[in-house]
Structure 1
Amino acid sequence: MDKVMKQAALLSLTDPYIKRDGGTLRTRAMIGALEKCGFDVECVYPTGDASRRNEGRPAMGRLASSRQAASAAKRHFLPLPTELGQRSTALGTEVRRLEPSLTVTSVLSQAQFVDPRNSVFWLDFMDIWSEFGRREADRRTGLSKMASRTQSRWLRARENKYCNAAHVVTAAGWSDWKTLVAHGHRDAVWLPNPIADDSFETVPRASGEPNVAGLIGNFEYWPNREAYRTVIDSWLPRLVDSGWRVVVAGSGSDALEQRPGVIALGHVDNLNDYYGQIDVTLAPIDLGGGMKVKVLESFSRGVPVVGTAFAFDGFPEEVRALGITVDLAEPDLTGLQDLIRVDPTSPVLQQFTTSAFNAKVHRILADVT
């Protein structure tokens, strides 16, 4: 690949630098990797009239109530975004203005703005929406179940359409990558979410009371609120009976329903301070998709993870073996006291460093540019 500066457009739902979660971390990592490959990267996301339902002056009074009701009704029947909902004249105009030689999107509904005739088209799956929708349908009943199943089938058709048009297809989650291959997209590449190389270092346990379990996430995201509900309803009684407390951290954690035995920290600026307070990370997840960055972040600091099979679903078998898998509704938490710190320098974890991510992006682009 030559060193001439090229223009890349990276499509995103939001400004990736406003908040920190699995999606924004992946977007930032992609920007950094593309820049190292010689691209001038422009991150394009809805602003102004590009997304009136989310941007600009907030609605007030009856209009606000109507929008909230409509949003709740839409999610009840159609749990995932639609192409119509993401349609934006301004967004399409901005992508065309850039005249990118490479266009990357991790948002299926924004693939409509990519012209694979004039730009290398990279479709990156943070998660597979059709699988997310299928799992949602399994949890529902009646008309909502039928609508979710219909949306899941429609999404799979769109995924296949855009995968067939793309020059590069990648997936963050190991199981999602295997799903794409099973759907016939044999050139798809597993590109796991990375975290900074210097994060892979054991965080010493700070002095204080022992037997502290941690739950961290962006609790403005509803699957994480569902995970917290599972903790307080099913996991917390077992933990308290065994002498454990729970510390909850992350955006929106201070607004969650509080229970005895739970301490909410709210947003934390330094993750190492948080991981130094806990002995184990809880991952009671059965919703969402892709690769769970919170599991990787815990391993990278040396903190063991107890989670559901779905929490480890985005990792290959050798990484899953570092954690303890339990049932969601009836978890066996009796062995928590016997857990020891994980070795973050383990070779199986080094494939998740930013350096490894950058090298893999370079190899991918070398094959198509």
Structure 2
Amino acid sequence: MALMLITKTDFRLPRDGGALRTSEVVRVLSSAGHSVSAFVAKPSSHQGTSSRVAGFALIMANLKVLRRVLGCASLTVAKWYSPSMIKSIVAARPTQKWNGTIIEYSQLAIYRDIVPGPVLIDMHNIESELMRNYQKSASGWLRRMAALWESRRLARLESSMVNFASAITFVSQRDLDVFRILAKSKLDRNEVQLAVAPNGVAEEGFRWTGTRQPNVVFVAHLGWQPNIDAATWLVEKVWAQVVAAVPHARLQLVGRSPHPSVLRLTSDTVQVFADVESVIPFTGSAAVATAPLLASGGTRLKIMEAMSCGTPVVSTSLGALGLESKAGHGLVIADDPGDFAKALVDMLTSSPSEDTVRSAVLDMKWDSTLTSLVDTANEKLGV
């Protein structure tokens, strides 16, 4: 089966959780015998297109996408309008035939009118819920109002997907249940298959054998506002309590494109590591990993990745969304800064065994977690 896949960024060398999931989706589909043609909204290098693209066809394709962008009226959707990707799709259509399309991320549903159907949407998050959570934790009335607007516009876009999608996959049962409530009235009128295809872990973490250090690590895209807020909360509300109990402890903030406000968190006990080649050496050598999210959605790949290394995790409730069943098996959930600090101190002084932590995610390798996505694609796109 030949499939078109639409995604946000280059996934060949994944630098974040979304790109990693997309990379695994492509790998698993290819292993199942499907031919996947990927089109990227913001490629890391030039996305080649034919020099001869019919002007009228290209104009009409852009107008169709822009109509969806304007109708959604969301800034977080508009940022993914990509004339270069539209040109690539239009150039490829006369020479390639696809059985259907997989759209990664709900924001890219704006391309639905120019891709071949039927369509499967792979939801990385319930984006409207993420914005609702951010609206509650954001500092400043302007950010809160913007987040509230975005949440409402994204909810409208997400609920509309049942009008055209043949199937939608979710990273957790919780996300699927939230979506059922969000789109209930439209689900009653449309036949769309909903399935859970959880995030997973790669083999690399399970093979880690490094030495543990008295480090606490937070791995994330450090230029994304919810992660900036999380790092700030961790340093300003939690970290002093940890150092008071364990003076030799060190906090490592690891990730791509750190915002200046994150860089300013550096101190004698707090280090920032930007754009590292691999986060596994940091996660694998830490005594404990963290997910101190105050706004979140989907499931945190970094939690599962840390646990595959045998590293226990302390997370807020929002950071651990969809992974609540792992609590008590290498994952501690705490929302109060004092409770969060105490959990970190406990892990620094007496952590569970690596085997205990790893066993909690042994059933979450990508080949297993994405089986339902492949099955859904076979059923709904292979027509």
TM-score, scaled to structure 2: 0.76
Contact 1:181–1:188 (8 Å) recurs in 2:
no
> Equivalences for 1:91-170 in 2 at 5 Å?
91-96=85-90, 97=93, 98-115=96-113, 118-139=116-137, 142=141, 144-170=143-169
1:319 aligns with 2:314: no
CA–CA separation in structure 1 for the residues paired with 2:283 and 2:164: 43
Q: CA deviation at 1:192?
A: 1.5
Q: Counterpart in 1 of 2:80?
A: 86
TM-score, scaled to structure 1: 0.79
Contact 1:11–1:43 (8 Å) recurs in 2:
yes
Q: Name which of 337, 350, 353 aligns with 1:341.
A: 353
Structure 2 CA distance for partners of 1:290 and 1:79, relative to 1, 3 Å: farther
CA–CA separation in structure 2 for the residues paired with 1:80 and 1:319: 35
1:350 aligns with 2:362: yes
Q: Counterpart in 2 of 1:191?
A: 197
Q: CA deviation at 1:294?
A: 0.9
Gapped runs of 5+ residues in structure 1?
Answer: 1-5, 52-77
Contact 2:219–2:279 (8 Å) recurs in 1:
no
Q: CA deviation at 1:226?
A: 1.8
Gapped runs of 5+ residues in structure 2?
Answer: 47-72
CA–CA separation in structure 1 for the residues paired with 2:273 and 2:145: 39
> Equivalences for 1:1-369 in 2 at 5 Å?
6-46=1-41, 81-82=76-77, 84-96=78-90, 97=93, 98-115=96-113, 118-139=116-137, 142=141, 144-183=143-182, 184=184, 187-201=193-207, 203-206=209-212, 211-243=214-246, 244-252=249-257, 256-257=263-264, 258-315=266-323, 317-322=324-329, 323-334=331-342, 335-336=346-347, 337-342=349-354, 343=356, 345-346=358-359, 348-368=360-380, 369=382
CA–CA separation in structure 2 for the residues paired with 1:321 and 1:202: 22
CA–CA separation in structure 1 for the residues paired with 2:87 and 2:25: 22
CA–CA separation in structure 1 for the residues paired with 2:174 and 2:244: 35
Structure 2 CA distance for partners of 1:139 and 1:303, relative to 1, 3 Å: closer
Matched residue pairs, number?
330
CA–CA separation in structure 2 for the residues paired with 1:8 and 1:200: 32
CA–CA separation in structure 2 for the residues paired with 1:136 and 1:223: 7
Q: Using the TM superposition, name which of 168-177 and 286-295 deviates more.
A: 168-177
Q: CA deviation at 1:275?
A: 3.1
CA–CA separation in structure 2 for the residues paired with 1:142 and 1:300: 40
Q: CA deviation at 1:267?
A: 3.7
Contact 1:202–1:344 (8 Å) recurs in 2:
no
